[in-house]
Amino acid sequence: MGPLAFRLMVVEAVLLFGAVSATTFVWARASFIDWMDGVAVASQSLALAISCTVAFYYNDLYDLRIVRNFGAFAVRLVQAFGVAFILLAGFYTVFPGTRLAEGPFVSSFLVVAGILLPLRAASYAILRTRRLRDRVLILGVSPLAVRIVQEIEAQPGSRCEVAGIVADGPVPEALANRYPVVGAVSHLGKLWPELWPDLIVVTLTEQRGRLPVTDLLEARFRGIVVEDGVETYERLTGKLAIETLRPSSLIFSRDVGRYQLDLAVARAISLVVSLVGLVVTAPLIALVGLLIRLDSPGPVFFLHDRIGRGGRTFRLIKFRTMRPAPGPTSEWVRDNDDRVTRLGRWLRKFRLDELPQFVNIIRGDMNLVGPRPHPVSNRELFAGAIPYYSLRSLVRPGVTGWAQVRLGYANNLEEEIEKMCYDLYYIKHLSPWFDLRILVDTVKTVLFGRGARTTDAYPHGAVASR
């Protein structure tokens, strides 16, 4: 969720709370007798507002890449209301005192729809207003420049609009066919006063061409934001562009390496949650183990050597979801789909095969959140093909991670490199709040069974990270 989507979620949640509170008072024709009346109304309104906000989030109503227009939003809103009803039913069962009467309940949902529909219609209209967008001047035509432009075009809520390209030499078709080339790099000092962009994105390096330092400094002091293309790409995508990432970007970054307290907090939370989770899910773990025994021959648990913090090897514990291979298997598990058991598909879909990893967390091998641990058999392959691969071992691997919720599971080397971009972003910006966001997104993945791929193989040959 981007900054704009987050602000939209907060605004809508506050409006829903206010609207439901007002509706309740109107129906009851009530006035405050004592503070308990206010608490009762507030708790009822808060229950409905939270249920709606959670339902909207898990139905992707705040993901502007999915609900790109008002029509898509309206369709998903109907589905989200169904989820909200289910959440409210559960909430009322646990806290019956927060239940709204039938009249205020129906009216409140009508008011919610009456507020959200025009609010979103206005929001999409504003997003299409060019005058409210930041004008961006792209300096350079490197592959990174092309990717940044593509990301700006793909995000309706990015608030950016490409005003032009500044480049020497030929311009890739992906840029030349869509945006004007306003001049050469050496003429930047004359170009920016004419165009007066809000942001200049620099995708040049000293090695690829002469960097107009004086012109950029003057623009910066005149109030124009000047940003390294690597930082722009990171902000737009939530991942690092490792193909164009310079070591100095990490070495001199203030975010990297300043999270010892964050690591300690993450470890403490992971340990407490795992101890409680292991006790609470013990009956479910026993039931799944029994079903695996009945479903197919073989061991209940899948044990595999994985790479942990500092490059150390540990044994990952999972429920077995595949039939043992009679011989060597393919490196990539998309070729092993026929070995997945009937029960295994359901376990993978809802991530129940990961439950035994509570034991790995308690033993200190893993945390709840972190890069997924790679098989030891893949270490040599990945270390030679993926830039900055060793940095993954700076933190404990996790049961879930930023790359998992953003991309899912990898089935080839290209997808592993893409996941590495997300893993590096996580390591750079590691914090308890970031972990919380990942856990919330993981719940969405588990509840709706999204992103589940059949991705475990047995020790014969390399396997994808899962």
Segment 189-232, tens digit of pLDDT:
888 888 888 899 998 865 555 788 889 999 899 888 999 888 88
Say which range, 124-128, 220-224, 319-323, 364-368, has the weakest mean pLDDT.
124-128
* More confidently predicted of 159 and 88: 88
* pLDDT, position 456: 40
Question: Where in 258-370 does DSSP place strands (E)?
Answer: 301-307, 313-319, 367-369
Contact 373, 465 (CB under 8 A): yes
**Of 296, 288, 145, 136, which is closest to residue 230 (Cα–Cα)?**
145
Distances (CA, A) of 197 to 20, 59, 139, 237, 278: 43, 36, 12, 22, 55
Secondary structure class of 28 (helix, strand, coil): helix
- pLDDT of 284 reads 94
**CATH architecture assigned to 133-237:** 3-Layer(aba) Sandwich (3.40)
The pTM for the full model equals 0.78
pLDDT at residue 29, rounded to an integer: 56
Q: Please, what is the average pLDDT of the chain?
A: 81
Say if CB 375 and CB 465 are below 8 A apart.
Answer: yes
Q: Are 212 and 188 in contact (CB under 8 A)?
A: yes
pLDDT class of 461 with cuts at 50, 70, 90? very low
Calpha distance 142→202 (Å, rounded): 10
Please give the DSSP secondary-structure letter assigned to residue 255: S
**Strand-pair partners of 340:** 322
pLDDT of residue 463: 38
Residue 193 DSSP label: H
**Domain segments of the chain: what residues?**
3-127, 133-237, 260-448
CA distance between the termini of the chain: 24
Average pLDDT of the residues in 142-169: 82
- β-partners of residue 307 are 313
Lowest mean pLDDT among 31-35, 393-397, 402-406: 31-35
pLDDT tens by residue, 283-303? 999 999 999 999 888 899 989
Q: Are 424 and 391 in contact (CB under 8 A)?
A: yes
Can you read off the two tokens belonging to residue 216? 């950029």
pLDDT in tens, 229-280: 888 898 888 898 887 777 766 666 666 666 678 888 899 999 999 999 999 9
Instruction: Tell me what percent of the residues of the chain surpass a pLDDT of 90.
Output: 22
The answer to whether 373 touches 306, Cβ cutoff 8 Å, is yes
Residue 80, Cα to own-chain centre: how many angstroms?
Answer: 20
Residues forming a β-bridge with 395: none
The answer, yes or no, to whether residue 333 has pLDDT greater than 70, is no
